[in-house]
Amino acid sequence: MAKKATVSEFINSTVGLLCNHDAYACPVLVKAEANTMSDGTVRLSAVNGHTLGDMTKAAHVFLTQQQWNERPCDPYDDTAKAVWALRHLGFRVSGLDPEPEA
């Protein structure tokens, strides 16, 4: 049986944005939190923008190190990183057009 990866280090969290999600009846203030795992992947999870508690109805996702390294990294635009991360978690940022279909 394969050994399960464990959280090894907190990386960062994004700014909080008002978002919609299929699991929630109304818009919620949410942040994305990133942690490195012992196997080198990065775990993104949604946390409440007010209390920093886990958003249990929203699933967390695992990204490869390459996917994580390709995120928007503008030192003057924290919102771009937040939108990128929250979209990976299935959130739609209020007030933004939907992401174009690939």
Q: What's the pTM value of the predicted model, to 2 decimals?
A: 0.83
Q: What is the pLDDT of residue 99?
A: 65
* Predicted confidence (pLDDT) per residue in 43-99, tens digit: 999 999 999 899 988 889 999 999 999 998 888 888 999 999 999 999 999 988 776
Q: What is the pLDDT of residue 20?
A: 92
pLDDT, average across residues 2-19: 78
Backbone φ and ψ of 88, nearest 5°: -60, -30
Which helix (H) or strand (E) segment holds residue 13: the answer is strand 7-13
Q: What are the domain boundaries of the chain?
A: 7-93
Whether the Cβ atoms of residue 22 and residue 40 lie closer than 8 Å to each other: no
Q: How far apart are CA 44 and CA 31, in angstroms?
A: 10
Q: Assign 7 a pLDDT band (cuts: 50, 70, 90).
A: low
